Amino acid sequence: MITSFLVKSLDRTIVIAVAILLALAALVPALNLLTAPDHPLHVPTYLVSLFGKYLTYALLALALDLVWGFCGILSLGHAAFFALGGYAMGMYLMRQIGARGSYGNPLLPDFMVFLNWKELPWFWHGFDMFWFAALMVVVVPGLIAFVFGWFAFRSRVNGVYLSIITQAMTYALLLAFFRNDMGFGGNNGLTDFKDILGFNIQADGTRASLFAASALALALSLVVTSGIVRSKFGKVLVALRDAESRTRFLGYRVEHMKLFAFTVSAMMAGVAGALYVPQVGIINPGEFEPGNSIEVVIWTAVGGRGTLIGPIIGAILVNGGKSIFTAAFPEFWLFALGGLFVLVTLFLPKGVVGTAQHYLARRRAYRAASRLENETGLAEPMAAE
Amino acid sequence: MTEKKPKSLLYLDGVSVSFDGFKALNSLSFIVEPGELRAIIGPNGAGKTTMMDIITGKTRPDEGEVFFKGDIDLTRKDEAEIAQLGIGRKFQKPTVFENHTVWDNLELALNRSRGVFATLFYRLTGEDKARIEEILATVRLTARCDDLAANLSHGQKQWLEIGMLLAQEPELLLVDEPVAGMTDAETAETAVLLKEIARTRSVVVVEHDMGFIRDLGVKVTCLAEGSVLAEGSIDFVSNDPKVIENYLGR
């Protein structure tokens, strides 16, 4: 059952993309760790971390593509799931600091000592264990998405109204996480991490491993997502995106279908966030900014929604552009991003990958048609002349 | 009327529904027997589509009873449940999944378990394949099975939708204006198709095209202002003075 699911998921583009990701996961750490800094092929550590971050963004965009591209749910709150996964990882990293914090408290993170707290809040228990934190990375975003989706999809909230409430959700979480008494470090968030799984988080080896982990997570998610969208379930998703009531009248429980896709997508976003936090070294409520979620939508749109590969390329292109652009003209980045979105919507509505696929398909159809003409209709035009 | 309830496939009694004060259905009573093919006519706003909405669970009646197969209360179920019970519906506008191939459209419609995990791990069995091929032949779309539904002609989309309903294996089929926008040849062929379908299940057809209804040659119900105006053979109904006044015109 599972094997047939996986075999079906592998069409050619997905295989190529997965192969590239696996190659990157091996090659980049190798070039970083095994070559001397002055070697022409040496990849500096800052680049490893930068691209590792891009890969987590790509995973977030892929997660959004599952719900937006295939299911028609334009979630403007996906960065919230990313941030929740990030916070779960951040809590683990905070507990790993132990007595090495500024206040030297072996149990309480610095910000709790600063707030004069005497005991660890109940929801911080267990986060000293990696397996528990790793579980929470998927469970917390998944659970919130499930509860949110349960109510939203059952009440048949659709289209722009759904987008608005996802935006409200991330904003509500932003406000909640800003509060000091929530117990997540208030507006400073969680930072000053030291170790992950016993390895120094600043060390080159750890950073290279985190890059590899991000590439592997992205490759795995790509296979799973591809399996989902190519299964009959995926066909139902596209069906309900295009004609929801027709799907209902065929006997499908549309709300269950949406809920499953939304929850899986939120879990993937959580994993992305968990890989992001150790690579950037901080998580704070700013990650819940409504604008962040909108940026994810732009990456996905630029790359091409509903193509799986597109959002990955889009996330890397736009963020690469952002890194270069913000270094050169920091104050104009938002204008450039907005302009990019307008241009893509007007001229490349299918995104970079969608447009490329469209042209390839057209050329193939044209070739097939002309071949057919050569075989069958060769005599006719001559006769006509 | 109550003694008829257990035998009939579909039983509506005293169904009323109003939208913003407008009474779309006014104490409508209507019975369909197993294996019956029934045509419904009536002027615009007579409540034909609203009646279908009520039966398929899209709209809840303000009052009245709706029973399927004797004792299944349809007013307490939603669209998906009603569809799974065996009531299929064809919309006025052909509604097929345009981004799927003709084959996939039928595969999706096939009467198989429709849960999240059942569909996630679904594999096309030989039996399902044979069934889809059979339906393709019935609706005359075998040659186009790999084309996207979006590329079909209007009439072919209507047939594909009828094929999807067949795949659903309903006991009751509700068909809303199946020949609207069809050529005469397509219309005649659709009449044959519907009669073929009605051999194994009940079908209710809403239609404006009197020629088509004459082709079907079945019992006709004329609705007006939300209730039944007349019921009987096409000749009986079309000679009824009330029907002439309300619908056919002089």
Quick check: B203 and B226 in contact, CB under 8 A? no
Q: How confident is the model at residue A283 (pLDDT cuts 50, 70, 90)?
A: very high
pLDDT of A105 > 70? The answer is: yes
Q: What percent of chain B has pLDDT over 90?
A: 41
Q: How confident is the model at residue A385 (pLDDT cuts 50, 70, 90)?
A: very low
For residues A297 and A68, give the distance between their C-alpha atoms in angstroms, rounded to a whole number. 9
pLDDT of B3 > 60? The answer is: no
| CA A105 centroid distance within chain | 35
Residue pLDDT, tens place only, A29-55: 999 999 888 888 898 999 999 999 999
Q: How confident is the model at residue B237 (pLDDT cuts 50, 70, 90)?
A: confident
For residues A277 and A56, give the distance between their C-alpha atoms in angstroms, rounded to a whole number. 10
Please report the residues numbered 251 through 310 in chain A whose beta carbons come closer than 8 angstroms to any beta carbon of chain B: 251-254, 256-257, 260
**Per the CB < 8 Å rule, is B79 touching A1?**
no
Average pLDDT over residues B53-61: 91
| pLDDT of res. A362 | 86
Give which of B84, B90, B93, B97 to mutate to test A binding, by max A Cβ within 10 Å: B97
Average pLDDT over residues B212-234: 87
Average pLDDT over residues A269-293: 96
Average pLDDT over residues B224-235: 87
Angle subtended by helix axes B154-167 and B184-198, to nearest 10: 10
| pLDDT of res. A7 | 64
In this structure, of A79-83, A354-358, B51-55, the range with the lowest mean pLDDT score is: A354-358
Q: How confident is the model at residue A375 (pLDDT cuts 50, 70, 90)?
A: low
pLDDT of A380 > 50? The answer is: no
| pLDDT of res. B93 | 82
Quick check: A185 and A113 in contact, CB under 8 A? no
Q: How confident is the model at residue A367 (pLDDT cuts 50, 70, 90)?
A: confident
Q: CB-CB: which of A235, A242, A256 is closest to B98?
A: A242
Tell me if chain A has a CB within 8 Å of the CB of B47.
no
Average pLDDT over residues A316-320: 94
| pLDDT of res. B196 | 83
For residues B11 and B31, give the distance between their C-alpha atoms in angstroms, rounded to a whole number. 5
Of A62-66, A327-331, B109-113, B223-227, which has the strongest mean pLDDT? A62-66
pLDDT of A221 > 70? The answer is: yes
| pLDDT of res. A382 | 42
**Per the CB < 8 Å rule, is B84 touching A242?**
no
| pLDDT of res. B8 | 86
Encoded tokens for B104: 């996939």
Enclosing H/E stretch for B88: strand B87-90
Give which of A4, A8, A246 to mutate to test B binding, by max B Cβ within 10 Å: A246
Pairing status of strand B22-32 against strand A199-200: unpaired
Quick check: A105 and A113 in contact, CB under 8 A? yes
Distance from CA of B238 to the nearest CA of A (A): 33
Q: How many CB pairs under 8 A join A and B?
A: 79
All residues at 6 or more sequence positions from A173 whose CB lies less than 8 Å from its CB, including other chains: A80, A83, A84, A288
Number of domains observed in the structure of chain B:
1
| pLDDT of res. B82 | 93
Distances (CA, A) of B49 to B23, B25, B56, B225: 13, 10, 11, 12
**ipTM exceeding the 0.95 mark:** no
Q: How do the residues of chain A divide into helix, strand and coil, expressed in percent and rounded to 5?
A: 75, 0, 20
| pLDDT of res. A333 | 87
| pLDDT of res. A193 | 94
Please report the residues numbered 206 through 245 in chain A whose beta carbons come closer than 8 angstroms to any beta carbon of chain B: 228, 231-233, 235-236, 238-239, 242-243, 245
The phi, psi pair for B176, rounded to 5°, reads -100, 115
**Per the CB < 8 Å rule, is B99 touching A249?**
no
Q: CB-CB: which of A231, A247, A249 is closest to B56?
A: A249
Distance from CA of A4 to the nearest CA of B (A): 8
CATH of the domain at B244: 3.40.50.300
pLDDT of B32 > 80? The answer is: yes
Please report the residues numbered 185 through 224 in chain B whose beta carbons come closer than 8 angstroms to any beta carbon of chain A: none
Distance from CA of B127 to the nearest CA of A (A): 16
In this structure, of A72-76, A143-147, B6-10, the range with the lowest mean pLDDT score is: B6-10
Domain span at B45:
2-248
pLDDT of A75 > 70? The answer is: yes
Residue pLDDT, tens place only, B83-99: 999 999 988 788 899 99
Pairing status of strand A195-196 against strand A199-200: antiparallel
| pLDDT of res. A94 | 94
| pLDDT of res. A384 | 39
DSSP structural state of residue B247: I
Average pLDDT over residues B6-29: 87
Give, in degrees to the nearest 5, the angle at Cα B6 between B4 and B11: 65
For residues B243 and B250, give the distance between their C-alpha atoms in angstroms, rounded to a whole number. 10
pLDDT of B133 > 50? The answer is: yes
Distance from CA of A235 to the nearest CA of B (A): 8
Q: What percent of chain A has pLDDT over 70?
A: 95
Distance from CA of B246 to the nearest CA of A (A): 32
